[in-house]
Amino acid sequence: MRALLERFGPDVCVTVLEKSTTPGGLARFGIAPDHQSTRRIARTLEAILLDHRVAVAFNVDVGTDVRAGELNEYADAVIWATGATHPRPLGVPGAGLDGVEYAIELVRWYTGHPNGTRPHVLDATRVAVIGNGNVGLDIARILLADPTTLASTEMPTTVQAALSSSSVDEVVVLGRKEPDRAAHSASEVLALAAAEDIGIAVETCAGAAPSGRFLGRAVEAAARPGPANGKRLVLRYGFEPVEVRGHDSVTSLVVRGTCEGELVEIECESVVAAIGTDGGGQIPAGWGSVDGHVLHSEGRVLDDAGNAIPATYVTGWMKRGASGGVGTNKRCAQQTVSTLARDLAAAGPSRDSKSPSAILEELERRGVSYFGSEGWRAVDRAERAEGRASGAFRRPAAREALAIGLGAEGR
């Protein structure tokens, strides 16, 4: 949005349709609550929503409340940015057992998403996390954290209370590659290493040892015994999942070493699959897609025959798939807006689309319970007040947000 406002100046008019009752997407319901400086991006996004050139409608599900193809009737161009949060299936025998959960569900819960529910993982003593990207490491860190270190974060108090009474005392994080080529970043490992009350063990299969590159060195530096009776993290490199075992619920995970093919059985009562997400069913029919994200040319959406769909653009994870953080998204959005600007300039001024506010009138006519920036301001005030009352920076009052937002606008 910022790229759009900067590029098109005072006369542009942007209408945002958002399924959730709060803005920010994964910046709010993904980035870990204890990564407070990174989460500030959500504030920046919120400020942009209050720009006088922007109209916003929360609680609008594009695809249900309004059909994908209808949107172009109301605007000169439509930019899709619905993300990629559909969990990739684990795809090994036993993946359907109770006790197997997907990372994105766990993340939704600990960030206070309205649909988040208390995960089973809290009842396990040993947890295996499959996938050692930054999301897998975030989950390990949150599960093992000293609850007092989370007290001043945006994590809901109910989540903090559940974490402090959880049974988890060991998390084993598994990744296929050796430490030098692991999916996580060095800074995530260093964030783990900063928690001195956790013992960290690094295990590699034969041949998957670090070879002295920066990432491998960070992993080696993180290893330490930790206090007796303390919580423990095992970073296991060079293993892939083969089977989840159990009767009604998980009792172990069988993994195979990627170097020599040996099978190892890890006893655990919970398995968390942190193996990535994709656009799932979010991609409209007829659009081209690759590996769960939209087929595009510099942000211009292509159909399944590779032709550009008029005035339709894509950005963020829906465009690139579930990888890259805030900085990558910024560059990605700039590319999409530049393409859009070039296309509009080439098409000339003759447009017969309805006014963007007409889409809001149409939603009203259809009886969709949406609220706009007035409602969002009321939600924001309520959240901050709740945060002040509990001595924390802010707590999401997500479940109540719809009622507050609608009430503030007299809907």
Which residues make up the interface to ligand FAD (CB under 6 A)?
17-20, 25-27, 30-31, 35, 38, 60-63, 81-83, 85, 107, 134-135, 138, 282, 316-318, 324-326, 329
Q: Closest Cα partner for 271 from 98, 94, 99?
A: 99
Number of helical H runs and strand E runs in the chain = 13, 19
CA atoms within a 13 Å half-sphere pointing along the CA-CB vector of 49: 23
Instruction: Between 135 and 406, name the residue whose CB sits nearer to ligand FAD.
Output: 135
Nearer to ligand FAD, 257 or 372 (CB): 372
- Name the residue type at position 123: D
- CB closer to ligand FAD, 81 vs 155: 81
Least Å distance, CB 345 to ligand FAD, is: 26
CA distance 341 to 150: 44
Which among 149, 53, 150, 49 is positioned nearest to 380, based on CA atoms? Answer: 49
Contact between residue 163 and residue 304 where contact means Cβ atoms under 8 Å apart: no
CB of 329 to ligand FAD, least distance (A): 5
Q: Which is nearer to ligand FAD, 24 or 179 (CB)?
A: 24
- The overall longest dimension of the chain from CA atoms, in Å, is 73
For ligand FAD, the closer of residues 266 and 272 by Cβ is: 272
Nearer to ligand FAD, 135 or 208 (CB): 135
Comparison of 37 and 350: residue with beta carbon closer to ligand FAD: 37
3-class DSSP state for residue 192? helix
Instruction: Write down the least CB distance from residue 182 to ligand FAD, Å.
Output: 16
Q: Report CA 229 to chain centroid distance, whole Å.
A: 33
Q: For the purposes of burial, counting CB atoms within 10 Å of the CB of 141, is it exposed (0-12), middle (13-18) or buried (19 or more)?
A: buried
Q: How far is the CB of 254 from ligand FAD (least distance, A)?
A: 26
Residue whose token pair is 């994590």: 155
> Minimum CB separation from ligand FAD for residue 326, in Å?
4
**Residue 251 Cβ vs ligand FAD, minimum distance, rounded to whole Å:** 27
Which 3 state secondary structure label does DSSP give 199? strand
Shortest Å, Cβ 154 to ligand FAD: 13
